Structure 1
């Protein structure tokens, strides 16, 4: 197939973006060391008023690496990070790599069942966690391979007097005051750093084959699988990202890190990008519209990677006009489709560029992006990145599809994973003749711009018709009263499935089901129009802002079961 592949997208590349990049074959953590040696006093991160230089972050990471070595961590051992975005999450990440370990990013919101599965599956030997999740970790400890638990607190890296006030705020907001019982197995993050030195550990890393990260897929459609990403995978994807942003002021940008680092998207385009580009990261422990608007204004944020729900939240904030957002230059939107209306309103508000990209955990994660300063066709996920080959696999012929023909998106590139951890059968099923099968249905136009129609498994089949939820959602977003929308296929005894739309309305706006039905009929074929509507105050989402479509479907199934039994 490779010999037949046409690459029309290359003709759209601006002069400054190369078709091919020579990627450095060195461990990911070396970029932090290089920054510390060459620009030691340059600010790397800002966290709620606290700032740390490249040298301070590097020294702390080295101390943490030595602490892990003293706890018995050796090359290839898996170490989990269960933290919100904090300086500790950056220090832990690079410290684990400096010790030769493999990072296992773990969502702090995981319940015990999810946490236990990930710890058992990865075989992690140690975990770094916030005090708030410490009880959950201890409850599963005996059923895992975990030998050491390292506990830290948000206040540990807050400036005075916030560090004194924060515990009281935390108790007020959560109702929790966690007591940590330190022992030979449970350690204080800060005490470990104090007791360790900054000696570099001798390591023999093969960047192309040695793992840097086990990144677990969401598991919303089955058991979560560990995606094996090498140092080279992550270096390549971060380098691609930096080269794609060809007009930015490299080394002098301010990057807002509101996307969680435990998600591969926030990790690559936020944390790793900042370190490799030597730009300042402004870290927020969670996305909050007021805090985000304040951070953009005060820190003069110029790059804001986010998810559509974040931009929707900001443009609909009643006080948004009070903030100066003119520092925004580039916004990288991913994790879910970006409605055109949201893009236009956000660009009008800030004067910056907001463009949609595409990726998946198995590709570190980014594979496509729209041009920031160039043609951006409506609804397109953009062009493949340098060295990234993409084809649409025809369902009928099993060969590359013609332009405009819908099929499955398949990918090859230096950012594509090595496979799934301890799951050779799943790995084999996900690759086709060396190509990664994404499970996303889409098409390429004549110019090489790609479009996602929907997830293969999210497609709704109603009365024999194939219906893609994204098309319905785009129409619903055009209605002036709709803030958020998601369409799902719910069981229907006659049609097999029928379309149901879940909606969150804008503050102060009203609309009836009848009005929505009439609006949709003007823009959609009759068989695509939602038969059911449900209004909600909020939709279930992941920490990155992706709507949990599967959770809504499960709710519907439970409702139908209850109806049958009542």
Structure 2
């Protein structure tokens, strides 16, 4: 019998969960920093962080968080309502600063260090973050300095990168890469900079802060801005904590000691913030991190630490499948979870050749803190499904054209309810209203749920191509393309057409050493695609644009194609 909600939509997943997991399990909403600090007190000698071989215990982590929170309150006036921007890669500084801000009562504003000064200017200015925390690595500090000089941030806290390293690596870094460090004292904004380590060493005690978990904002997370300027999703303390609790219920004991979670995805991205940092640290597990993705460094890290859980994106998995020459070095990985972008069957197959890990695909969005669905983490799930809704997460599928809630099997926009769903967007009432339909978060993704409660993504609504009045889904074409033996990566956009309205156009990157013509690929596609789905053009590229976490980006290609067709001076 299929469970039915009070609003009448079906919940077939409720009675079809993996054994031992209940959809109606209680969801914990205690602020995440309180949960992490409780672990620091409970297991002080356990290792919390591994950064390039330098290990931080939970006792050391807890002391640093408290001391930094005290400094934020007493030296900078940070409290409830304050926003602090983090311009940091994965380092112990990020972890300490993140929880220290929350402990002081402030709100974290995550910033992508690879963004341009112009992109960062919008986020920092829009968020009203007066204080920013960054590294003294020149490539980062110069961006932070420009933001201060432009008036977007009043003060900087600067972390001295070598302090995150072990003694030997600290010594080697200063000799070999010392030129990469900025002399902060010589900067024109030196009087507005404070050293991170000095603040922590003050050992100031923070005052207690009363948090209303359901209303107070923990993280103001800016979306990718695929349409217009990025918007600041307001994630409450309850939202952030609830998603961690939901994932824990789904994973049973997977994210508890003795597990070690690989953190190569950047903490400033919502997926990694939740699954690579908040999740393991709330449970007392160890986080083994890299400041950026490098194939050899990642493989060596896994081999050295014997980490067993890998959070990944499809491009990372593809890079491992392609580049790993000694699969034995990945033998410790038992579970890999892919998120951030659709996981193709081709990537699944390639990865399975180098790793026996259970590979599970998840699904989420910034506005849901972010995880909504996930494949089972202990037993295999249905192929090409994003799994089932997490405990306490409700879904409905609303017809794009009809506006009616669909029965299982019917395609529609995925809409979400749950304790992980955001409060709204910062100072944008219109966007906040349009993000919800009758209290349901609109994801903008089209999908369906089958009779067993497994969810399948069809495509993004905004990526939908209307050809002669018919819906054509780029993902269907992309899945067909990657099955060609010569295709490494691909993405499909809709292009204006005077006769059909729109037509598909495919951009393709071929595998190294492989070749194929447009005619050959079209013949291959004709076996699975109908005439409306067949790309009008196939454009070959040496590389395809990606977002920081490795998601193929259509935005740049749409603009490039428009400019190309418009001609010079467009």
The CA deviation at 1:9 is 0.6
Distance 1:395 1:361 in 2: 22
Tell me, in whole angstroms, the C-alpha distance in 2 between the residues paired with 1:225 and 1:307. 23
Q: CA deviation at 1:323?
A: 4.1
- The separation in 2 between residues aligned to 1:391 and 1:326, in whole angstroms, is 39
Greater mean alpha carbon deviation, residues 389-398 or residues 84-93: 389-398
1:445 aligns with 2:445: no
Partner of 1:505: 510
Choose which of 151, 155, 167 in structure 1 pairs with 2:158.
Answer: 151
How far did 1:212 drift? 0.5
Helix, strand or coil: the match of 2:560? helix
Summarize the alignment of residues 296-315 of structure 1 with structure 2, pairs less than 5 Å apart.
296-315=302-321
Partner SS, residue 415 of structure 1: coil
Q: 1:460 to 1:404 in 2, by over 3 A?
A: same
Tell me the distance in 2 between the aligned counterparts of 1:169 and 1:469.
47
Question: TM-score, normalized by length of structure 1?
Answer: 0.95
Q: Is the partner of 1:118 in helix, strand or coil?
A: helix
**Displacement of 1:341 after TM fit?**
2.4
Partner of 1:552: 557
Cα offset for 1:206? Answer: 1.1
Identify the match of residue 193 of structure 1 among 194, 200, 223. Answer: 200
- 4+ residue segments displaced more than 6 Å: none
Structure 1 residue 294 displacement after superposition: 1.2
Cα distance in 1 between the residues matched to 2:542 and 2:428:
40
Q: 1:399 to 1:178 in 2, by over 3 A?
A: same
The answer for the alignment partner of 1:41 in structure 2 is 45
**Which of 221, 226, 239 pairs up with 2:227?**
221
Residue 468 (structure 1) aligned with residue 437 (structure 2):
no
Q: Cα distance, 1:201 vs. partner?
A: 2.4
Is 1:23 matched with 2:30? no
Q: Residues 309-458 of structure 1 correspond to what in structure 2 (within 5 A)?
A: 309-317=315-323, 319-321=324-326, 323-374=328-379, 376-458=381-463
Alpha-carbon deviations, 1:150-200, whole Å to 9, x = none? 11243220112322333565578xxx5533236341112122222x21524
- Asked if 1:479 corresponds to 2:484, the answer is yes
Aligned residues: 560
Shift of 1:347: 2.9
* Candidates 539, 545, 551, aligned match of 1:534: 539
- In structure 2, the CA distance between the partners of 1:218 and 1:170, relative to structure 1 (3 Å rule), is farther
State the distance in 1 between where 2:488 and 2:63 align.
Answer: 45
Structure 1 residue aligned with 2:266: 260
Q: Secondary structure at the match of 2:171?
A: helix
Residue 160 of structure 1: aligned partner = 167
- Superimposed CA distance per residue, residues 38-83 of structure 1 (whole angstroms, 9 cap, x where no aligned partner): 1001001101111100111111111211221112212220000011
Provide the rounded CA distance (Å) in 1 between the counterparts of 2:177 and 2:462: 40
**Cα displacement (A) at 1:221:** 1.3
Question: Which residue, 109, 116, 135 being the options, matches 1:111?
Answer: 116
CA deviation map 1:273-332 (0-9, x unaligned): 111121111111111211111111111111001100000010011x43354211111111
Does the CA contact (< 8 Å) of 1:485 and 1:502 recur in 2?
Answer: yes
- For residue 182 of structure 2, the aligned residue among 165, 171, 178 is 178
- Residues 370-407 of structure 1: CA distance to partner in whole angstroms, max 9, x if unpaired? 11334522221111111111000123442311222211
The offset of 1:348, in angstroms, is: 3.7
Residue of structure 2 aligned with 1:76, choices 70, 77, 81: 81
Quick one: which of 291, 306, 309 aligns to 1:285? 291
Deviates more, 1:212-221 or 1:401-410: 401-410
Deviating more after overlay: 258-267 vs 477-486: 477-486
CA distance in 2: counterparts of 1:375 and 1:48, whole angstroms:
33
Residues 314 and 169 of structure 1: CA distance in aligned 2, closer, same or farther (over 3 Å): farther
State the distance in 1 between where 2:284 and 2:506 align: 44
Provide the aligned C-alpha RMSD in A: 1.9
- Report the alpha carbon displacement of residue 426 of structure 1 after superposing the two structures with TM: 1.1
SS of 1:446's partner is: coil
1:543 and 2:548 aligned: yes
SS in structure 2 at match of 1:324: helix
Between the aligned partners of 1:148 and 1:62, the Cα distance in structure 2 is: 21
Aligned partners of 1:24, 1:37: CA distance in 2, in Å? 19
Question: Equivalent residue of 1:191, what SS?
Answer: helix
The one of 51, 55, 66 aligned to 1:51: 55
Q: Answer yes or no: is the 8 Å Cα contact 2:327–2:354 preserved in 1.
A: no
Corresponding residue number in structure 2 for 1:207: 213
Paired residues of 2:51 and 2:92 also in contact (CA < 8 A): yes
Per-residue CA deviation, residues 415-469 of structure 1 (Å, 9 max, x unaligned), is 0001101111211111111111111111122222111111100111233332111
The TM-score, its normalising length taken from structure 2, stands at 0.94
Structure 2 residue runs of 5 or longer lacking an equivalent are none
Alignment of 1:514-525 (within 5 A): 514-525=519-530
- Checking the alignment, whether the CA contact within 8 Å between 1:343 and 1:355 is kept in structure 2 is no
CA separation of 1:499 and 1:167: change in aligned 2, threshold 3 A: farther
Secondary structure, aligned partner of 1:524: coil
The answer to whether the 8 Å contact 1:98/1:201 transfers is no
Between 51-60 and 483-492, the greater mean CA deviation after superposition: 483-492
> Is 1:148–1:186's contact at 8 Å kept on the other side of the alignment?
yes
Stretches of structure 1 that go unaligned for 5 or more consecutive residues are none
Q: How many Å apart are 1:350 and its aligned residue?
A: 1.5
